[in-house]
Amino acid sequence: MSTDLALQDPDLLRRLLRAKDHLDAASHEAWPVHRLAQISGVSEAHFARSFKQAFGTPPHRYQLTRRIERATALLRETERSITEIAFATGWQSLGTFSRTFRDITGDSPSAMRASARKSLLSQGRVPVCFVQAAQRPDLHTAVSEKRRLGIDATNSLLQRKESP
Protein backbone atom coordinates (compact mmCIF):
# COMPACT_ATOMS: atom_id res chain seq x y z
CA MET A 1 0.00 0.00 0.00
CA SER A 2 1.43 3.38 -1.03
CA THR A 3 1.96 6.18 1.50
CA ASP A 4 0.53 8.67 -1.02
CA LEU A 5 -2.82 6.90 -1.29
CA ALA A 6 -4.80 10.12 -0.67
CA LEU A 7 -2.96 11.84 -3.50
CA GLN A 8 -3.40 8.89 -5.89
CA ASP A 9 -7.15 8.60 -5.50
CA PRO A 10 -8.76 11.68 -7.10
CA ASP A 11 -12.19 10.73 -5.77
CA LEU A 12 -10.92 10.65 -2.17
CA LEU A 13 -9.05 13.92 -2.65
CA ARG A 14 -12.21 15.54 -4.05
CA ARG A 15 -14.16 14.37 -0.98
CA LEU A 16 -11.41 15.64 1.35
CA LEU A 17 -11.52 19.00 -0.42
CA ARG A 18 -15.27 19.09 0.16
CA ALA A 19 -14.69 18.66 3.92
CA LYS A 20 -11.91 21.28 3.83
CA ASP A 21 -14.26 23.68 2.05
CA HIS A 22 -16.77 23.21 4.87
CA LEU A 23 -14.04 24.02 7.40
CA ASP A 24 -13.06 27.13 5.44
CA ALA A 25 -16.61 28.35 5.01
CA ALA A 26 -17.63 27.90 8.64
CA SER A 27 -14.52 27.56 10.79
CA HIS A 28 -16.47 29.11 13.67
CA GLU A 29 -18.69 26.00 13.85
CA ALA A 30 -17.87 22.79 15.70
CA TRP A 31 -16.37 20.32 13.21
CA PRO A 32 -15.60 17.07 15.01
CA VAL A 33 -13.84 14.43 12.93
CA HIS A 34 -16.94 12.25 12.69
CA ARG A 35 -18.89 15.10 11.06
CA LEU A 36 -16.11 15.77 8.54
CA ALA A 37 -15.75 12.05 7.87
CA GLN A 38 -19.48 11.85 7.08
CA ILE A 39 -19.09 14.67 4.55
CA SER A 40 -16.17 12.79 2.98
CA GLY A 41 -17.93 9.43 3.09
CA VAL A 42 -15.08 7.60 4.85
CA SER A 43 -14.38 6.33 8.35
CA GLU A 44 -13.09 8.73 11.01
CA ALA A 45 -9.63 7.14 11.18
CA HIS A 46 -9.28 7.05 7.41
CA PHE A 47 -10.45 10.67 7.13
CA ALA A 48 -8.00 11.97 9.76
CA ARG A 49 -5.09 10.06 8.25
CA SER A 50 -5.95 11.03 4.66
CA PHE A 51 -6.57 14.70 5.53
CA LYS A 52 -3.16 15.00 7.15
CA GLN A 53 -1.53 13.17 4.27
CA ALA A 54 -3.21 15.38 1.65
CA PHE A 55 -2.92 18.78 3.36
CA GLY A 56 0.04 18.35 5.70
CA THR A 57 -1.84 19.08 8.91
CA PRO A 58 -4.50 17.29 10.97
CA PRO A 59 -8.09 18.59 10.65
CA HIS A 60 -8.17 20.08 14.16
CA ARG A 61 -4.96 22.06 13.63
CA TYR A 62 -6.25 23.25 10.27
CA GLN A 63 -9.41 24.52 11.96
CA LEU A 64 -7.35 26.25 14.67
CA THR A 65 -5.30 27.96 11.97
CA ARG A 66 -8.41 29.21 10.20
CA ARG A 67 -9.95 30.47 13.48
CA ILE A 68 -6.78 32.30 14.50
CA GLU A 69 -6.41 33.80 11.00
CA ARG A 70 -9.99 35.08 11.16
CA ALA A 71 -9.54 36.42 14.70
CA THR A 72 -6.33 38.19 13.68
CA ALA A 73 -8.10 39.82 10.74
CA LEU A 74 -10.97 40.96 12.98
CA LEU A 75 -8.53 42.33 15.56
CA ARG A 76 -6.75 44.30 12.83
CA GLU A 77 -9.75 45.51 10.89
CA THR A 78 -12.55 46.10 13.41
CA GLU A 79 -13.19 47.82 16.70
CA ARG A 80 -15.11 44.84 18.08
CA SER A 81 -14.17 43.74 21.57
CA ILE A 82 -11.86 40.77 22.03
CA THR A 83 -14.70 38.87 23.69
CA GLU A 84 -16.98 39.42 20.68
CA ILE A 85 -14.22 38.30 18.33
CA ALA A 86 -13.56 35.18 20.41
CA PHE A 87 -17.20 34.09 20.26
CA ALA A 88 -17.59 35.10 16.59
CA THR A 89 -14.67 32.88 15.61
CA GLY A 90 -16.05 29.81 17.38
CA TRP A 91 -14.41 29.79 20.82
CA GLN A 92 -16.52 28.81 23.81
CA SER A 93 -14.58 30.89 26.35
CA LEU A 94 -12.45 34.01 26.30
CA GLY A 95 -9.75 32.31 28.40
CA THR A 96 -9.33 29.42 25.97
CA PHE A 97 -9.25 31.82 23.03
CA SER A 98 -6.65 34.08 24.64
CA ARG A 99 -4.41 31.20 25.76
CA THR A 100 -4.53 29.45 22.39
CA PHE A 101 -4.04 32.73 20.52
CA ARG A 102 -0.96 33.51 22.63
CA ASP A 103 0.41 29.97 22.25
CA ILE A 104 0.09 30.08 18.45
CA THR A 105 1.01 33.69 17.64
CA GLY A 106 3.28 34.54 20.56
CA ASP A 107 1.18 37.61 21.46
CA SER A 108 -2.02 38.17 23.36
CA PRO A 109 -4.99 39.36 21.30
CA SER A 110 -4.72 42.89 22.71
CA ALA A 111 -0.97 43.04 21.98
CA MET A 112 -1.63 41.76 18.45
CA ARG A 113 -4.24 44.48 17.92
CA ALA A 114 -1.86 47.19 19.17
CA SER A 115 1.06 46.02 17.03
CA ALA A 116 -1.17 45.63 13.97
CA ARG A 117 -2.38 49.21 14.32
CA LYS A 118 1.18 50.45 14.73
CA SER A 119 2.47 48.46 11.73
CA LEU A 120 -0.51 49.55 9.63
CA LEU A 121 0.77 53.10 9.80
CA SER A 122 4.31 52.09 8.85
CA GLN A 123 3.70 49.45 6.17
CA GLY A 124 2.51 51.81 3.49
CA ARG A 125 1.05 50.21 0.39
CA VAL A 126 1.83 46.52 0.87
CA PRO A 127 -1.05 44.40 -0.44
CA VAL A 128 -3.16 42.92 2.34
CA CYS A 129 -2.79 39.37 0.98
CA PHE A 130 1.01 39.56 1.43
CA VAL A 131 0.66 40.88 4.97
CA GLN A 132 -1.81 38.12 5.87
CA ALA A 133 0.43 35.41 4.37
CA ALA A 134 3.38 36.69 6.40
CA GLN A 135 1.30 36.71 9.58
CA ARG A 136 -0.32 33.28 9.06
CA PRO A 137 0.14 31.11 12.15
CA ASP A 138 2.44 28.14 11.83
CA LEU A 139 0.94 25.06 13.45
CA HIS A 140 3.53 22.38 12.79
CA THR A 141 3.81 21.86 16.55
CA ALA A 142 0.69 21.20 18.60
CA VAL A 143 -0.26 23.80 21.20
CA SER A 144 0.02 21.25 24.01
CA GLU A 145 3.52 20.36 22.78
CA LYS A 146 4.49 24.03 22.88
CA ARG A 147 3.27 24.34 26.45
CA ARG A 148 5.20 21.23 27.42
CA LEU A 149 8.38 22.54 25.79
CA GLY A 150 8.04 25.87 27.57
CA ILE A 151 8.33 29.48 26.59
CA ASP A 152 11.96 29.25 25.35
CA ALA A 153 11.09 26.50 22.91
CA THR A 154 8.11 28.50 21.63
CA ASN A 155 10.32 31.50 21.05
CA SER A 156 12.89 29.40 19.18
CA LEU A 157 10.08 27.98 16.98
CA LEU A 158 8.98 31.52 16.17
CA GLN A 159 12.56 32.53 15.36
CA ARG A 160 12.95 29.50 13.07
CA LYS A 161 9.77 30.53 11.27
CA GLU A 162 11.15 34.02 10.64
CA SER A 163 14.54 32.90 9.32
CA PRO A 164 14.77 32.12 5.56
- Closest among 1, 17, 96, 126 to 62, alpha carbons compared: 17
Average pLDDT rounded to a whole number, residues 66-80: 91
Percent of the chain with pLDDT over 70: 70
Name which of 77, 48, 36, 66 is nearest 136 in CA terms.
Answer: 66
The tens digit of pLDDT for each residue in 103-155 reads: 888 899 999 998 887 776 665 666 667 766 776 766 565 556 666 666 555 55
What is the reported pLDDT for 30? Answer: 84
Structure confidence at residue 10 (pLDDT): 86
Is residue 1 pLDDT above 60, yes or no? no
Q: What is the pTM of this model?
A: 0.66
CB 161 within 8 A of CB 106: no
Query: Which residues, 6+ apart, have CB-to-CB distance to 62 below 8 Å?
Result: 20, 23, 51, 55, 139
Going by the DSSP 8-state scheme, the letter that residue 28 receives in this structure is T
How much is the average pLDDT of 69-85? 92
- The rounded mean pLDDT for the chain is 81
d(Cα 67, Cα 115) in Å, to the nearest integer?
Answer: 19
